[in-house]
Structure 1
Amino acid sequence: MLSLPQSPFEILSDEHIAYQSCLNLETVGDSWGTTVVDETAIIFKFSPEIVARVLGFGLIHPPSTQGRAHLARDISACNDNSEFLAGLSYLYVMGVIRIFNQPWSADSLLSEPSINAKKLALTRDNYRCILTGALDVASVDNGLTTAGERMRCTALGHIFNESPTGNIVGLTDAAQEKLEWATSIAAVVQRFADISVVNVHSAQNTFTITPDFHGLFYRLRISLHPIGHDDSSTYEVHTYPPNRNGLYGLPDRVTLTDATGGRIPLPSSRYFKVHDACAKIAHFSGAGKVMEQIFQDVRDLKVLAEDGGSHLLSFAISLCLQGMTLAYS
């Protein structure tokens, strides 16, 4: 978790004014105290300094300039109200970051769409992990490619782990009323990333990866940071904590190539850009750990806790009704 740096934005710009609100909230520290009415509400599981850092790093590392402009206006519209700022931060954590930090179940990976998507990704990626170049063992055994290089089992990776559908649960009534534009997860993703519809099994959203790095990717411990122009297929490999490439056995940079000569599209650099932004915001702010703890608490929930249990139970029931996964590993 990192403290917010000094404002990198031009003085008197909308972004600078919004960022100052984040800096002010960060000084409140790790407890809401008397600044909010009901500290047991789910949105206040994220402390003032984490809320400030989610919003502040969201301004510094947005996936699009339009997303930064939307976020700046939304922060300023909260008028330094703690409950509204907590609600806005919660929307970005549970509406955007969560859909990347969501493990796939065994059943979903064995579904027909997933199996077909893996075949396409393997063909396009030349039967290799896009990060390490390791050959897919099954493809060698089936005669689709030849041995002679290092071989590994591979998995189908997804950039967006689920389509941005459904609603975000857990906002207080006051925050929900203030942030009335956030009617769905799709609305938040559209506002921040300028992406409306994602087919999770499309070639643009899938890639070949070895299982060890698959786990790191969906837990936002590694990300691909696009470099160059918007259509570039070259990425810096970032780790969280940083500078672990050597320890993981990862290159500093990768260039994705299409072995089919354009028949199967490469993974979308726009999708990777959103994933990269979410990885940075989640880890720099500390929100990723809090989010995982919330889902761990939900999974372990046996009886109502005396302090805040009713909020947690209501949150868990709402997630189950929407069919969301509660287990993190």
Structure 2
Amino acid sequence: MTSRSEGQPLPSIREATQRIQSTHAYSTSALGSLQSDAVSAYHVCLDTERQATNQVQDSELDVIRARVLGYLILEASSVSALAEIVKVIHSCNASYDKLCKLGQSFMDYFIRAFRKFKGNTPGSSSHPSRTSFDKDKEKVKTEIEQARASWTAAKQAALKRDSNRCMVKGVIDFNSLALFDTATQQQAGGGFTQCAHIVPDSTYFSLSDGEKKDYAASVLAVLQRFGYDINKINGSKVHSLFNIMTLDHPVHELFDRLKCWFEATAIENQYRVVLAPPYLHTVWSLPQQVTFKSSDPDNLPLPSPELLALHAACARVAHLSGAAEHVDKLNREAESSTVLATDGGSSELLNYAVMQGMRSIHIGA
């Protein structure tokens, strides 16, 4: 069962309206209409959350699903993302069941896509707006190709760009320590850095069967409908410098588990380092903000601000809605449980275990 303490209740309609108006300030009538539609869609999410809270059975997960939709509106990383979210919410025509299925779809194809893969791919969720969604997915599915680019080459390119250091902690890559003098070694310290992907590489390669390709196509379709040009990261392009970062192992783990994300400041290439929970700053000695720099800006570009914003939005929605805690809890229970109840009491855990069993995607090392 899901604890009702997971996540935060959706803000009031008044607070949400203020946030939407301040975050998405529009000058044209068309975009102004989107703002109004966003407030209307948020109202639908509030009603769904309220209905789920009053339900006797299966309500706790539905509360999270409703909150996922509401926080997607409030945390939309771009106008195109907001427009897509608002459109699909309204396409449910205020149907409780359809809205819950939609929330589950975003959990499967958005939140879980950005969270570190510990198991297998969920099967196809029933997306309420299937016709247009399936068209997008099928179009993308035909474009998916096996990504065979060298992991080592990607890591070396990122290391060169990032001056052989973790982009967050500044520690020197263990295999590069000999390139630095003793004083620099002692000041910066060393670590085992890794090549971290903003959009997980496992979404795109080692897709050996139809189920995995179907899942990857669904993820790509969601990203595409959020307004991102997936051609920049499809196939071997997932290893593009726009999509990779040099991170020390602990930072990489936090980033992949949506416990670390980067929020842009007003200064170009400067980001706030956000951790969940915040005390991890002290535990891992991580800075409050970082400025990304390239050793060769003309040839070695920095990570895409748009992809970092998408990852950050996903992380915020996951934590605010309670989806992150919910998935973590199910993961722990699936790992520790050897016998599932036969009376249906473990049905949610069984469903999660089945989805994990369908999601075995090899990740290169």
Instruction: Tell me which protein shows more helix as a share of its residues.
Output: 2
User: Which AA in structure 2 matches 1:160?
Assistant: V
Instruction: Tell me by how many angstroms 1:222 deviates.
Output: 1.2
State the match for 1:226 in structure 2. 264
Is the CA contact (8 Å cut-off) linking 2:158 and 2:246 kept in structure 1? yes
Instruction: Tell me by how many angstroms 1:246 deviates.
Output: 4.5
- DSSP 3-state at the match of 1:237: strand
User: Which AA in structure 2 matches 1:75?
Assistant: I
Instruction: Tell me by how many angstroms 1:258 deviates.
Output: 0.6
State the match for 2:43 in structure 1. 20
State the match for 1:286 in structure 2. 322
Is the CA contact (8 Å cut-off) linking 1:207 and 1:267 kept in structure 2? yes
1:261 and 1:104 mapped to 2: Cα distance?
35
Instruction: Tell me by how many angstroms 1:317 deviates.
Output: 5.0
- DSSP 3-state at the match of 2:195: strand
How do 1:102-251 and structure 2 match up within 5 A?
Answer: 102-103=116-117, 113-141=150-178, 143=179, 145-147=180-182, 148=184, 149-153=187-191, 154-162=193-201, 164=203, 184-197=218-231, 198=233, 199-228=237-266, 232-242=268-278, 245-251=281-287
Is the CA contact (8 Å cut-off) linking 1:61 and 1:281 kept in structure 2? yes
Q: 1:325 to 1:140 in 2, by over 3 A?
A: closer
State the match for 1:179 in structure 2. none
User: Which AA in structure 2 matches 1:60?
Assistant: L
User: Which AA in structure 2 matches 1:159?
Assistant: I
1:325 and 1:303 mapped to 2: Cα distance?
27
State the match for 2:128 in structure 1. none
User: Which AA in structure 2 matches 1:269?
Assistant: P
1:29 and 1:311 mapped to 2: Cα distance?
17
2:326 and 2:161 mapped to 1: Cα distance?
37
- DSSP 3-state at the match of 1:71: helix
Q: 1:93 aligns with which of 98, 102, 107?
A: 107
Is the CA contact (8 Å cut-off) linking 2:65 and 2:100 kept in structure 1? yes
Is the CA contact (8 Å cut-off) linking 1:64 and 1:194 kept in structure 2? no
Q: 2:78 aligns with which of 47, 57, 64?
A: 64
Instruction: Tell me by how many angstroms 1:305 deviates.
Output: 3.8
Q: 1:21 to 1:122 in 2, by over 3 A?
A: same
Q: Deviation digits for residues 17-37 of structure 1, max 9, x if unmatched?
A: 110111112223557436xxx
User: Which AA in structure 1 matches 2:41?
Assistant: A
Instruction: Tell me by how many angstroms 1:325 deviates.
Output: 7.1
Is the CA contact (8 Å cut-off) linking 1:57 and 1:285 kept in structure 2? yes
Is the CA contact (8 Å cut-off) linking 2:270 and 2:292 kept in structure 1? yes
Is the CA contact (8 Å cut-off) linking 2:275 and 2:281 kept in structure 1? yes
Instruction: Tell me by how many angstroms 1:146 deviates.
Output: 3.4
Greater alpha carbon shift after TM alignment, 62-71 vs 240-249: 240-249
Is the CA contact (8 Å cut-off) linking 2:73 and 2:86 kept in structure 1? yes
Tell me the matched-pair count: 296
2:150 and 2:9 mapped to 1: Cα distance?
42
User: Which AA in structure 2 matches 1:138?
Assistant: N
1:220 and 1:311 mapped to 2: Cα distance?
22
Q: 1:211 to 1:30 in 2, by over 3 A?
A: farther
Structure 1 position 252 matched with structure 2 position 258: no
1:285 and 1:311 mapped to 2: Cα distance?
18
Name the TM-score, length of structure 1 as normaliser. 0.77
State the match for 1:176 in structure 2. none
Instruction: Tell me by how many angstroms 1:162 deviates.
Output: 2.9
State the match for 1:174 in structure 2. none
Structure 1: runs of 5 or more not aligned: 106-110, 170-181
State the match for 1:83 in structure 2. 97
Greater alpha carbon shift after TM alignment, 186-195 vs 199-208: 186-195
Structure 2: runs of 5 or more not aligned: 1-6, 22-32, 120-147
State the match for 2:129 in structure 1. none
Sequence identity (%):
29
Is the CA contact (8 Å cut-off) linking 1:164 and 1:189 kept in structure 2? no
1:112 and 1:196 mapped to 2: Cα distance?
17
